[in-house]
Amino acid sequence: MARNEEPKDPRAVATASVWGIACGVLGISIPLIAISHGSFGLGFLPLVGVIGAAVSTAAIWLSPHGKPTQQLPAHELDDIKDGLLDIHDHVSALERRLEDQELRLRISQANTDSVKDSPSNNVG
């Protein structure tokens, strides 16, 4: 038999996950209590697990529903793409100008260093 593959409510999936973990906490905590005879505060562990799962479930179901995402019309997407291309062009031009200025700075520093190192300036 084929199962019906209907989309599930994400809240139901999250709730099932929370309570699955809570059952695991209970499954581990009960033997721990039996072994330790309730010392070390382990007697409260199952209660904390159930309360945590209950609070999580309430938070899941009381939270506002997420609205489905709406797609922008094609002309707006084209406008955004054009704007991004313009920004890319401006940034590329700025990067080229910065590289040119850095190169000029290196050349000027090399020229001043060579003038300082030349023997004609050394008066002795």
What tens digit of pLDDT does each residue of 45-74 get? 888 899 999 999 999 999 887 666 677 788
What is the model's pTM?
0.47
Q: Report how far apart the first and last C-alpha atoms of the chain are (Å, whole number).
A: 103
Question: Taken in order 21, 23, 24, 30, is the CA torsion positive or negative?
Answer: positive
Q: Which residue in 14, 13, 3 sits closest to 59, CA to CA?
A: 14
pLDDT value at residue 68: 62
For 61, residues 6+ apart whose C-beta sits below 8 A from its C-beta are 11, 15
Domain ranges of the chain: 9-64, 73-115
- Please give the mean pLDDT across all residues of the chain: 84
Residues 32, 34, 37: CA angle, nearest 5 degrees: 100
Please compute the mean of the pLDDT values over residues 23-51 and round it to a whole number: 84
Q: What percent of the chain has pLDDT over 70?
A: 85
Q: Residue 73 has what pLDDT?
A: 85
Q: How far apart are CA 91 and CA 115, in angstroms?
A: 36
